[in-house]
Structure 1
Amino acid sequence: MVCEIVAELSSTKGKTYGLYNSGFINKDVINANFQKGYHLIEALKTNRIIYSKGISVQVKDFAQYIEKNYVCLVTLSNSKYWTYRYEENLNGIDNAIVLFCLPENAFKKDGALHTFLGTDTELSTKRIIEYYSKRW
């Protein structure tokens, strides 16, 4: 159904982003968006598997290895988030981004992690969060 909706959308001249909640993205949806020239931004569930350097790992397990000296603080409106940007070929997408975000006062606290998948590697970390926050 998602692929059918995307197929009905107009193609654009500038960059366009499909914004998805977790669980909507699969190979068919990715291809449907790419055929229209759209980039994707999707929330990822923390139990989602990524393949880091060919090794299968859940996003939440990968996050446990992120140290504070590897993160950047990003301000969005009145909120601040620790962010870690991981960029690699992921699950059939060439050069994708997995963005790890934690509220400023919740670094490595259980249940605080939010993760996003992005296909536009030129888009800044702050813009990915901004765009996703406007999905509704």
Structure 2
Amino acid sequence: MLADSWYSCKDIFNASEKAGYSYIGALKTNRVIFPQGHERLGIKLHKFATLLNIEDFDLVTVKSKQYYIYNYVGKT
């Protein structure tokens, strides 16, 4: 399932998983995530973004346009 940040929430994540789909979508920057090193309290996405380096991103091409993306798999 592919969605924008408007639809990204725990209920949609769980529903897509229950239906047998993977969820791919954007998150709003005020969301709290729980990446390695922040499992206990979490960290707001906008703060986490400041910790990333260019090497943490993948360059993808869509219709001849290039975008840098970051793949986060984990608890939100």
With the length of structure 2 as denominator, give the TM-score of the two structures. 0.68
With the length of structure 1 as denominator, give the TM-score of the two structures. 0.44
Query: Which residue of 2 is the match for residue 100 of structure 1?
Result: none
User: 1:90 corresponds to which letter in structure 2?
Assistant: K
| 5+ residue gaps, structure 1 | 1-17, 92-136
2:27 aligned to which of 36, 44, 60: 44
Which protein is richer in strand relative to its size? 1
Higher relative contact order (CA 8 A, sep 6+): 2
Query: Which residue of 2 is the match for residue 86 of structure 1?
Result: 72
Question: In 2, Cα distance between the equivalents of 1:85 and 1:21?
Answer: 15
User: 2:31 corresponds to which letter in structure 1?
Assistant: R
Residues 79, 67 of structure 1: alpha-carbon distance in 2 compared, 3 angstrom cutoff: same
User: 1:37 corresponds to which letter in structure 2?
Assistant: G
Q: Percent identity?
A: 33
Matches within 5 A, 1:24-103: 24-53=7-36, 54=39, 55-87=41-73, 89-91=74-76
Secondary structure of the equivalent of 1:52? coil
User: 1:45 corresponds to which letter in structure 2?
Assistant: K
Q: Quote the offset at 1:72 in angstroms.
A: 3.0
1:59-111: CA deviations, max 9, x gaps?
11111111123333222112111233333x313xxxxxxxxxxxxxxxxxxxx
Secondary structure of the equivalent of 1:39? coil
Q: Quote the offset at 1:35 in angstroms.
A: 2.5
Does the alignment pair 1:19 with 2:2? yes
Q: Alpha carbon RMSD of aligned pairs, Å?
A: 2.2
User: 2:30 corresponds to which letter in structure 1?
Assistant: N
Question: In 2, Cα distance between the equivalents of 1:25 and 1:71?
Answer: 21
